[in-house]
Amino acid sequence: MLADLPKNIEKVPKEQRDREILRAGMIAELDAVSFYEQLVAMTDNKDVKKVLLDIAREEKAHIAEFETMLFKLDPEQVKEHTKGREEIEELIGKNK
C-alpha cells in the first residue's frame, strides 16, 4: 500500500528536483488518504471513523497544495492535467 518514495532525490537533476520533491509529497499524501480510509472501513466506532475521515480530508487538501505548487513549476503538468480533465468530461459528461 505505501509507496517507496525516492531514496536518492539528490540524484535527480537540480533543475527537476523541486518538481520531484513535490510529486514525492503528493505520493505520501495519497498513501495517507488511502491508509486512513482503509482504517475507516476496519472500525465500527463512529467517533474513530469521524476522526479518520477528517484527517483524510486534510491530507486531500495537502495534495491540492502540492499540486498547486507543482503547477507553478511545471507547465507541462498543467497542460496534461487540462487534457485529462477534458478527456474525462468527454467520456462521462461534465455534470457527473
Residues 28-83 have pLDDT tens digits of 999 999 999 999 999 999 999 999 999 999 999 999 999 999 999 999 999 999 99
Rg over alpha carbons for the chain, rounded to the nearest Å, is 17
Compute CA 91 distance to the chain's CA centroid, rounded to the nearest angstrom.
23
34: its cell numbers = 488511502
> What residue ranges do the domains of the chain occupy?
14-92
Q: What is the pLDDT of residue 13?
A: 86
Non-local (6+) Cβ contacts of 23 within 8 A are 66, 70
Of residues 26, 54, 61, the one with CA closest to residue 39: 54
pLDDT tier at 1 (50, 70, 90 boundaries)?
A: low
Q: pTM of the full predicted structure?
A: 0.83
